[in-house]
């Protein structure tokens, strides 16, 4: 479609050309040095990630986080913290995409809507390992160059909404009811 005439202008701009979202629920197994008696706490910390456009239809997010498990052992007489680093790779499909981008150079904006989080932490049936269930969620936006066509008003008319017009002129009749001594001089 060609709009190259005096009524339209073609504007090249950066815009969101794709969006995606992915929720991941995973289970990790951690083997502590001692046979655990009970789980005292589990935390996920040190989350880091980066993203890049992988294919025409997806974005790749690579990252890692640390699982810290505080557990007791030796019949609940001693405690220890075991740390395990988890590396992951999430491929996030683009659920919304604009194929009209004019460039192959894209920026990816990636945010976590749910940081990696521990849902459940328990000792396995074998008794010498700990099972940790985690969750995380990302949303992504792919930004690229695209064309926008706008119609030019030949008259150069500036539209003004009458409701947005305010009359700030004060007339003498409005000021007649104002008491100049409205402040109590004792206060």
Domain boundaries, the chain: 8-149
pLDDT of residue 108: 93
DSSP-assigned letter for residue 151 = E
> Quick one: pLDDT at residue 76?
94
**Beta strand pairing status for 78-93 and 58-73?**
antiparallel
CA-based nearest residue to 79, from 39, 129, 128: 39
Q: d(Cα 55, Cα 61) in Å, to the nearest integer?
A: 12
Weakly modelled stretches of the chain, pLDDT under 70: 1-5, 157-170, 182-187
Q: Tell me what pLDDT residue 34 has.
A: 95
**Chain segment 87-135, per-residue pLDDT in tens:** 999 999 998 888 777 777 889 999 999 999 999 999 999 999 999 999 9
């Amino acid at each position: 479609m060609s709009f190259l005439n005096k009524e339209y202008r073609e504007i090249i701009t950066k815009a969101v050309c794709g969006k995606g979202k992915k929720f991941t629920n995973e289970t990790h197994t951690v083997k502590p040095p001692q046979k655990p008696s009970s789980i005292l706490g589990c935390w996920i910390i040190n989350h880091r990630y980066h993203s890049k456009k992988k294919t025409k239809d997806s974005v790749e997010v690579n990252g890692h986080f640390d699982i810290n498990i505080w557990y007791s052992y030796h019949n609940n007489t001693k405690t220890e913290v075991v740390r395990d680093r988890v590396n992951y790779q999430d491929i996030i499909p683009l659920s919304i995409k604009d194929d009209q981008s004019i460039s192959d150079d894209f920026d990816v904006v990636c945010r976590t809507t749910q940081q990696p989080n521990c849902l459940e932490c328990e000792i396995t049936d074998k008794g010498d390992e700990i099972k940790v269930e985690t969750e995380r969620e990302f949303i992504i936006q792919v930004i690229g160059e695209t064309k926008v066509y706008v119609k030019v008003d030949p008259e150069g008319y500036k539209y003004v909404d009458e409701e947005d017009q305010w009359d700030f002129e004060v007339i003498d009749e409005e000021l007649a009811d104002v008491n100049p001594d409205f402040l109590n001089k004792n206060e």
